[in-house]
């Protein structure tokens, strides 16, 4: 098993356990919506554009809604459980592209439930996550209104956001820094240090890819 497939399996187990109407951290989405999104992402390449391009978002949303209308929730979860498209054929590509995708969406479901707590991750996965944070921080923090210094507990510092002006230091484990940078600031267990106004602006910013 790879990290991507481990996270995929754990996410689908959780989706099965919670059912179609549980909340997620994805604004406005239930677990049913998230399952449809993941199925679309791998099996409807014609509709993927709207995930990142606002002008195409309407078509993507319509395809996602049709997936929900045509497929019962357990069937969609079963679809997500098996890597689709090229990811099903090339495990190395699945690992490269889907490790963070599956991890973040797994946490989107976990952290939307009451009394969640951070998981103790395998050191190898923690290292992979930190490597991706280190290489992707500039992109994920491009909309930050203030400069950001990411401090990984256990070692490692990365800069992001504007180079001048206010700066906020964000300290936590690699997985928590990832969730923060992906726009889940309110649900990331991190410590923020800096001017209180700058901290507030960063907490409220639209971060992520």
Fold held by 133-204: Nonspecific Lipid-transfer Protein; Chain A (3.30.1050)
One-character DSSP codes across 60-114: HHHHHHHHHHHS-HHHHHHHHHS--HHHHH-HHHHHHHHHHHHHHHHHHHHTTST
pLDDT at 177: 96
Q: How many CA atoms lie less than 13 Å away from 81 in the CB half-sphere?
A: 13
pLDDT at 17: 97
pLDDT in tens, the chain (209 residues): 799 899 999 999 999 999 999 999 998 999 999 999 999 888 877 766 656 677 767 777 888 888 888 999 999 999 999 887 777 667 788 888 889 999 999 999 999 999 899 999 999 999 999 999 999 999 999 999 999 999 999 888 889 888 888 999 999 999 999 999 999 999 999 999 999 999 999 999 999 87
DSSP bridge pairs for 30: 23
Query: Where would I find the H helices in the chain?
Result: 3-18, 31-43, 49-52, 57-70, 73-81, 85-89, 91-110, 123-140, 174-181, 196-204
CA nearest neighbour of 116 among 171, 181, 188, 180: 188
Query: Which residues have C-beta within 8 Å of that of residue 29, sequence separation ≥ 6?
Result: 37
How much is the pTM? 0.91
Query: Which residues have C-beta within 8 Å of that of residue 58, sequence separation ≥ 6?
Result: 50
pLDDT at 62: 85
Taking each helix axis as running N to C, give the angle between helix 3-18 and helix 91-110, from 0 to 180 degrees, rounded to the nearest 10.
40
Distance CA(176)–CA(150), nearest Å, equals 11
Residue ranges per structural domain of the chain: 3-110, 133-204
C-alpha distance from residue 59 to each of 16, 18, 180 (Å): 27, 28, 29
pLDDT at 131: 93
């Amino acid at each position: 098993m790879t990290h991507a497939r481990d996270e995929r399996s754990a996410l689908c187990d959780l989706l099965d356990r919670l059912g179609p109407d549980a909340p997620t951290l994805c604004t406005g989405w239930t677990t049913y919506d998230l399952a449809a999104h993941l199925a679309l992402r791998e099996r409807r390449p014609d509709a993927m554009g709207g995930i990142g391009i606002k002008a195409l978002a309407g078509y993507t949303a319509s395809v996602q809604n049709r997936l929900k209308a045509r497929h019962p929730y357990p069937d969609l979860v079963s679809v997500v459980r098996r890597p689709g498209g090229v990811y099903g054929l090339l495990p190395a590509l699945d690992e490269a592209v889907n490790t963070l995708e599956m991890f973040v969406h797994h946490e989107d479901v976990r952290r939307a439930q009451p009394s969640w707590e951070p998981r103790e991750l395998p050191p190898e996965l923690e290292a992979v996550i930190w490597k991706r944070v280190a290489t992707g921080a500039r992109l994920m923090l491009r909309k930050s209104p203030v400069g950001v210094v990411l401090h990984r507990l256990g070692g490692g510092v990365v800069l992001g956001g504007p180079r001048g002006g206010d700066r906020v230091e964000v300290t936590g484990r690699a997985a928590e820094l990832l969730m923060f940078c992906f726009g889940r600031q309110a649900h990331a267990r991190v410590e923020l240090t800096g001017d209180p106004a700058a901290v507030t602006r960063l907490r409220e910013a639209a971060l992520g890819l």
